[in-house]
Amino acid sequence: MFSRMFLVALLASLVSWFPALLPMASVGQAHAGVKESRRVYQRKAWEVRVVAFDDGTFACAARVSAGGSNFLIWADVDETVSLQFYNRAWRFGDEKANIVVRIDRRPKWTLNNARLSSRSVFFTLPEGKASLRFLREIMAGSRLNLYGSSGGRINTYSLAGSKASMLMLIRCIRALQGRDGDANPFN
């Protein structure tokens, strides 16, 4: 179990982690830029990182790579969950688009008004049961396919290790919130 003190000590000794792969501003909340990042967990194809931003805020991210492409699930201390698809070959202005995601052979999910910026596609999951169902599908699935709005497949990401990584992502956020096993219910 992480403690806040452990995470603070960990962040104090960080080295940069592929800064081009991390957004200069997360989807849910604007940050000045990624200051530091550190892997705190790895399971199969996935890893979980705690990220410090220049503005003093923190977030946790679960990431899987597929060649020059990455799929990240970001969670902020306020429990906003955002998706990021990154590809070093992409070049976007500041645009919006509808993207489609399909996990295994389950029905497709259309993510309307995803933000395209630089080399990334961002989408913040709305609060509610549908988003929880989507995250459960990721945890139980074996692969995630990303499609453009016209139906062409853009990339496939492995979900091997996603369940354990998502559980660790939750622990990471709870540690940042200071809710990491403290037995005092008034904290």
* DSSP codes, 37-58: EEEEEEETTEEEEEEEETTS-E
Q: Does the pLDDT value for residue 1 go beyond 70?
A: no
| Annotated domain spans of the chain | 4-177
Tell me: the pLDDT tens digits for 41-87? Answer: 999 999 999 999 888 889 999 999 988 899 999 999 888 999 999 99
CATH of domain 4-177: 2.60.40.1880
Please give the Cα distance from 53 to 39 (Å, whole number): 15
Q: Is residue 38 within 8 Å of 10, Cβ to Cβ?
A: yes
pLDDT at 89 over 50: yes
pLDDT in tens, 129-174: 999 999 999 999 999 999 998 889 999 999 999 999 999 999 999 9
- This prediction's pTM: 0.80
Residue 172: in which H helix or E strand, if any?
Answer: helix 162-177
3 state DSSP class of 22: coil
